[in-house]
Amino acid sequence: MGVRQIGARVHRVEDDNLIRGEGKYLDDIQLPNMGYAAFLRSSMAHAKISITDTEAARTLDGVQAVFTYDTLPSSLVSKTQLETYPAPIIKQSMCPELLANDEVAHVGQAIAMVIANTRHVAEDACELIQVDYTPLTPVVDVIKAAKSDSQLTHSSLKDNIAASIETKFGDVETAFEECEDSIELSFKQHRGGCHSMECRGVLGDWQQQLGELTLYSSTQCPYLVRRMVSRQLGCPESSIRVIAPDVGGGFGPKAGYYPEEALIAIASKELRKPVKWTEDRREHFISTNQQRDQIWKLEVAFKKNGEITALKGHVTLDSGAFLNYGLLLSATTLMPLPGPYKIKNLHVTLDAVYTNTVSTSPVRGAGRPNAAYAMDRVIDAVARHLSIDPAEMRQINLVKNEDFPYQPGSKHRNGSMMTYDSGDYTGMLAMVKEMADYDGFRQEQQEARARGKYLGIGLACFIEDTGMGPYEGVNVRVDVTGNIIASTGATSQGQGHATVIAQVIAENLDIDISKIRVEAGDTGKFPHGIGAIGSRTGVNVGISANDAAIQVKNKALKLASILLEKPEDELELSDGAVRARSDSNQFITLADLALQLSPAVAGKLPEGFETAGLEAVSYQTTDYMPHSSGANIAKVEVDVVTGGIKILDYYVVHDCGRILNPMIVDGQIIGGVVHGIGNAMFEQMVYDDSGNPMTTNYGDYLLPLASEMPEIHVAHIETPSPANPMGLKGAGEGGTIPAIGAMINAIEDALTPFDAYIAKYPVTPEYILELVDGEKMAAE
């Protein structure tokens, strides 16, 4: 065997192009005779609209077409965006019209689309379109929106509730009746955006003579886009090829299907030419889905020794103006409860509520960061109530190693019982405490307080259901040059999937990684795929690549056995050839084997081989969902004069089972932690009472920068998952999920002398000083 690949810190195969500036992102694609699209978007949060004049725009020099609701082709199956994830439990489903007809429901909703010779001219033309707005009452506050007598976010609704769901197990009422003590707590979790550095973008290239559309989209889910555009336009799926080129970050909101994808397809088809739309940053703020506005009210029952016995409460989730991603946010908020903690009785209800703000859908972690935050705030609140150290409190309540496989009582979306497959939650807690010198810091904290310095330390423990099915297939093919082509439905937005796939194949086929070419993100190259969501790709694609590579290896050995006239167990595959173990001069190369299986005209396949090609396809999946887990510690110092927070250090112990590439896993975790820190401290999407977004540039909406970020120390334990043959668990979101809780717990810990309770995030310096001054603010 050659060098071990799986588990090695292999540099990424993606990097060479990207560090040279030779990547190919959506906006980098230039096709001859291409038109450029721009959208006129609503400037009001809620209004009846009437488009009174498009003539000036149409006749502007350089304008090719202006589309409005009325001028969309009648051949469309629907002029309203089709539901991406319909579900019977959705009480009132609202999806936007592709272009607004007579009512707009948020600032940023698309009203008209202009195609012109340049983007500049398209924007010039948008300014010339006349729209009359008759204002309707905007509904911005989600708590008010949830009330039965609220003004409506859309005229067609009965109330603003999109759906109500719950998670329930055990006997909560009895547990509360019999509990030794209980507390209530409430808090507000705030929305943020994905803010991939590349905004969204779509390029449609309709080929009239073929009746085919190639649609490039900066998407996480090209197969979903193909399906939805096909259904929307009434074209067969086979006539649409969706390509996700290099994608500059996704983080969730690029996993959906958007009106612009259908509209650019329509424009290209109608104009019979390529049309490109590149979302600009202001559009990103007002038209790309956001996430995380939730208001929680909880009651916790517990014993005097700290053991939590029951949890109940209610979540109000802000859906924004539309429900264009089904109930995935709602489901992923409730499903992970109660996280890594053993709570046998639980009942939490959730209302998903419409408001006249930008729609929400999963952002890095989906509802899981909200759920993890809730649990870690519960643990700290009870710890404080009982004067138990928060670390000790976690030790008491965590699921123990002997409990695996552990069923908390909650159910998956498919109705099956949630099962934590494996882990070492208490071991990780001990490890992260050790890394952070938890006890030493407590000492330091006391001494610092005496000097008027406020240090804080915060803990968070989490689980993450990963590797969701149904599959992510991989085809491994040896071509006649001896190179390996792996094609897959998995789509990358920077995670390094190509490297990991190549590693798995290289190890199995004992071949240099440079001989492996990975083709992905193109529905024309591989028939089926799901997409990069929910920390699922590494698991699904890892086991499929592994399985396909093993099949190819077995096929190669079988054929070589015939050709070399040696039994298979006397052969080995190494360095691009099958060799006799006894005599390495007796060999046949993979290239030659591939040639045998791809005979020329009048040739025939070798005996015993029914399909051509030295290749195999695999759609492996996990038996049940592998659960990653982790324990985090944040250390902060709070300046009680300015309200400024300095993050001193951040520690992560993470378990994603067997690690395919530690460099990539660490990168995912560190980036994810910083995203969580952004949510905790910086990122704030502010709407005024009229529903106008107040933070639509990067001077007002604050993303985390290098200058404020701490060193993030990452360590791993590897408890292989029994749910799949490779022991894999997902790693894409495990950085973000616990980070908000760890940060807020640390900040609150620093403010212990002020008896502060943090009821909302992001924690602004202003809020810090309110807490220091005792102006406690309860979540509404």
Partner 1 sequence: MQEQDVRMHVNGKQVSGKVETRTHLGDFLRQAAGLTGTHLGCEHGVCGACTVIVDGDAVRSCLMLAVQADNCEVITIEGIAQEDGSLHPLQEAFRNNHALQCGFCTAGMITSLYAFLTENPERNEEEIREAISGNICRCTGYQGIVLAAKEAASKMAKDRN
Partner 2 sequence: MKASAFSYHKPISLEDALSLLESEEEVKILAGGQSLMPMLNMRFVQPEAVIDVNEIEELATISFNGNVEIGALTRQKTLGTHSIIKQHLPIMQEALKWVGHFQTQSRGTIGGSLCHLDPASELPMIALLYDAELEVASKSATRIIPMKEWALAYMMPSIAPEELLTKILIKPWSVPYGYGFQEFARRHGDFAIAAVGCLLKLQDGVISDIAISIGGVEDVPRRFIECEDVLRGSKYDIEEVKKQIIGPLDQINYIDDSLVTGSYRQKLLKGLLVRSIEQAASRANSL
Query: Applying CB under 8 A, which residues contact partner 1?
Result: 11-12, 14-25, 27-28, 30, 120, 194-199, 246-249, 251, 280-281, 493-496, 663-664, 666-667, 670-675, 697-699, 703-707, 709, 711-712, 735
From CA 237, how far away is CA 241, in angstroms rounded? 8
Residue 304 interacting entry, from partner 2, partner 1, none, C-beta within 5 to 8 Å by type: none
Do 115 and 35 form a contact (C-beta atoms < 8 A)?
yes
Residue for token pair 């994905």:
194
Which of 703/717 has CB closer to partner 1? 703
CB atoms under 10 Å from CB of 448, counted, come to 16
Which of positions 332-391 make contact with partner 2 (CB under 8 A)? none
Which of 608/699 has CB closer to partner 2? 699
What is the 3-state secondary structure of 524-592?
CCCCCCCCCCCCCHHHHHHHHHHHHHHHHHHHHHHHHHHHHCCCHHHEEEECCEEEECCCCCCEEEHHH
Q: Is 52 exposed, middle or buried (0-12, 13-18, 19+ CB in 10 A)?
A: exposed
23 is a site residue for partner 2 (CB under 8 A): no
Which of positions 233-292 make contact with partner 2 (CB under 8 A)? 280-282
From CA 287, how far away is CA 262, in angstroms rounded? 15
Cα–Cα distances in Å, from 696 out to 100, 249, 394, 699?
22, 19, 40, 8
Residues 607-646: b if buried by 16+ CB within 10 A, e if exposed: eebeeebbbbbbbbbbebbbbbbbbbbbbbbbbbeebebe
Residue 76 interacting entry, from partner 1, partner 2, none, C-beta within 5 to 8 Å by type: none
Choose which of 4, 24, 120, 272 interacts with partner 2 (CB under 8 A).
120
Residue 517 interacting entry, from partner 1, partner 2, none, C-beta within 5 to 8 Å by type: none
Tell me 335's DSSP state.
T
Residue 27 interacting entry, from partner 1, partner 2, none, C-beta within 5 to 8 Å by type: partner 1
Size of the site for partner 2 (CB under 8 A): 32
What value does the CA radius of gyration of the chain take, rounded to a whole number of Å?
Answer: 28
Which of 280/570 has CB closer to partner 2? 280
**Window of 171-179, 296-304, 690-698, 747-755 that interacts with partner 2 by CB under 8 A:** 690-698
Do 287 and 357 form a contact (C-beta atoms < 8 A)?
no
**Window of 242-250, 340-348, 592-600, 681-689 that interacts with partner 2 by CB under 8 A:** 681-689
From CA 358, how far away is CA 23, in angstroms rounded? 31
Give the H or E element holding residue 432.
Answer: helix 425-435
Residue 489 interacting entry, from partner 2, partner 1, none, C-beta within 5 to 8 Å by type: none
* Beta carbon of residue 704, minimum distance to partner 2 (angstroms, whole number): 8
Residue for token pair 């703000």:
357
Residue 24 interacting entry, from partner 2, partner 1, none, C-beta within 5 to 8 Å by type: partner 1
From CA 501, how far away is CA 408, in angstroms rounded? 33
127 is a site residue for partner 2 (CB under 8 A): yes
Residue 712 interacting entry, from partner 1, partner 2, none, C-beta within 5 to 8 Å by type: partner 1
* Beta carbon of residue 139, minimum distance to partner 1 (angstroms, whole number): 30
* Beta carbon of residue 124, minimum distance to partner 1 (angstroms, whole number): 10
643 is a site residue for partner 2 (CB under 8 A): yes
Which of 589/764 has CB closer to partner 2? 764
124 is a site residue for partner 2 (CB under 8 A): yes
403 is a site residue for partner 2 (CB under 8 A): no
* Beta carbon of residue 514, minimum distance to partner 2 (angstroms, whole number): 36
Residue type, 644: G
Give the chain's length: 780
Residue 711 interacting entry, from partner 1, partner 2, none, C-beta within 5 to 8 Å by type: partner 1
Residue for token pair 């559009």:
283
From CA 742, how far away is CA 382, in angstroms rounded? 16
Residues 156-174: b if buried by 16+ CB within 10 A, e if exposed: ebebbbbbebebbbbebee
694 is a site residue for partner 2 (CB under 8 A): yes
Which of 645/746 has CB closer to partner 2? 645
Which of 156/707 has CB closer to partner 2? 707
Which of 59/118 has CB closer to partner 1? 118
Residue 124 interacting entry, from partner 1, partner 2, none, C-beta within 5 to 8 Å by type: partner 2
The reply to whether omega before 338 is within 30° of 0 (cis) is yes
Residue 670 interacting entry, from partner 2, partner 1, none, C-beta within 5 to 8 Å by type: partner 1
Residue for token pair 């297939």:
473
From CA 467, how far away is CA 631, in angstroms rounded? 20
What is the 3-state secondary structure of 658-710?
CCCCHHHHHHHHHHHHHHHHHHHHHCCCCECCCCCECCCCCCCCCCCCHHHCC
* Beta carbon of residue 134, minimum distance to partner 1 (angstroms, whole number): 32
Phi, psi of 696 (to 5 degrees): -120, 25
**Window of 217-225, 229-237, 298-306, 702-710 that interacts with partner 2 by CB under 8 A:** 702-710
123 is a site residue for partner 2 (CB under 8 A): yes
Q: What is the largest CA-CA distance in the chain?
A: 90
Which of 183/702 has CB closer to partner 1? 702
Give the H or E element holding residue 745.
Answer: helix 736-750
* Beta carbon of residue 697, minimum distance to partner 2 (angstroms, whole number): 8
* Beta carbon of residue 406, minimum distance to partner 1 (angstroms, whole number): 31
Do 133 and 49 form a contact (C-beta atoms < 8 A)?
yes
Choose which of 695, 717, 720, 725 interacts with partner 2 (CB under 8 A).
695
* Beta carbon of residue 21, minimum distance to partner 2 (angstroms, whole number): 17
Residue 123 interacting entry, from partner 2, partner 1, none, C-beta within 5 to 8 Å by type: partner 2
Residue 682 interacting entry, from partner 1, partner 2, none, C-beta within 5 to 8 Å by type: partner 2
Residue 688 interacting entry, from partner 1, partner 2, none, C-beta within 5 to 8 Å by type: partner 2
Residue 496 interacting entry, from partner 1, partner 2, none, C-beta within 5 to 8 Å by type: partner 1
Residue type, 656: C
682 is a site residue for partner 2 (CB under 8 A): yes
The binding site for partner 2 (CB under 8 A) comprises 119-120, 123-124, 127, 280-282, 641-644, 682, 684, 686, 688, 694-695, 697, 699-700, 702, 704-705, 707-708, 764-766, 769-770, 773
